[in-house]
Amino acid sequence: MGGRNCLVANDWVCAEYVRTRSEELTDATLQHVGITAASILIGLAVALPLALLARRGKAFAGPVLGLTTALYSVPSLAMFSLLLPLFGLSAALVVTGLVLYSLTVLVRNILAGLEAVPEEAREAARGMGYGPVRQLWEVELPLALPALLAGVRIATVATVALTTVGAIVDYGGLGGLIMSGLRSDFKAQVLTASVLCVLLAVAADLLLLALQRWLTPWTRIRSGRAPGVRTAKVVEPA
């Protein structure tokens, strides 16, 4: 097991691998984090206007929710492949695909959060002379924050896992190491990259949980949890 032998013996667990290839592992992890972070941030920027549009009435809500749900059923490999003619082999392709997936959860959760804002709060804001924009930023969005952040957590964890599929166009972060490990039958590389990927998802989830607690201290007093059951019914694409 020890020292140099584990690389030669092709063991699953190999400290020597982690030591000698730490640079490769760091690069892949950084790419993974970069792709995930870009996807979630762009996803939020797109989801917010879509949720505001869907809120305008059933005529908008139907198409917006229907379309984002349909996107969710498209398998990731097909999604990335369909974007190939538009983006070529690039990181933009992977980010675009992941943004499209994140929209389903984000739009739904932002919408649920906005719809749960008490009517009295809106009326009070209007009574105090708030315009629509100020009402949205200072009253409605803060009150919708718990649901929004719950959506961000789910979308982030799913995105970390899905980023691996980006390996098909050589921008898959740790997925690239998994695929090259498969081609060369390099067990330590596949296991290390897979474990790092799960750890990354857990770390991102905990980080966002801390952010959620810091930004929305009032939710703990009421012991009200963000809509967990609602979101549990949506399943992640693979």
The site map against another protein for 13-52 (x = CB under 8 A) is: ----------------------------------------
- The answer to whether 194 and 178 have CB atoms below 8 angstroms apart is yes
Residue 177 Cα to chain centre, angstroms: 21
From the list 186, 165, 160, 185, the residue with the least C-alpha distance to 175 is: 165
DSSP single-letter state for residue 226? P
* Whole-Å CA distances, 105 to 10, 149, 209: 40, 11, 17
* x-marked contacts with another protein along 147-186 as a string, rule CB under 8 A: -------x--xx-xxx-xx-xxx-----x--xx-xx--x-
How far apart are alpha carbons 165 and 162 in whole angstroms? 6
Torsion angle in degrees (nearest 10) through CA of 140, 142, 147, 152: 120
# chain residues binding another protein, by CB under 8 A: 49
Question: Which one among 9, 70, 116, 215 touches another protein, defined by CB under 8 A?
Answer: 70
Segment 84 to 143, residues that bind another protein, using CB under 8 A: 84-85
232 binding another protein? (CB under 8 A): yes
| Smallest gap from residue 69 Cβ to another protein (A) | 9
Candidates 46, 97, 55; CA nearest to 76 is 97
Choose, by CB under 8 A, the member of 1, 59, 133, 229 that binds another protein.
Answer: 229
Minimum distance of another protein from residue 45's CB (angstroms)? 23
Q: Which residues bind another protein (CB under 8 A)?
A: 70, 72-79, 81-82, 84-85, 154, 157-158, 160-162, 164-165, 167-169, 175, 178-179, 181-182, 185, 187, 190-191, 193-194, 197-198, 201-202, 205, 228-229, 232-238
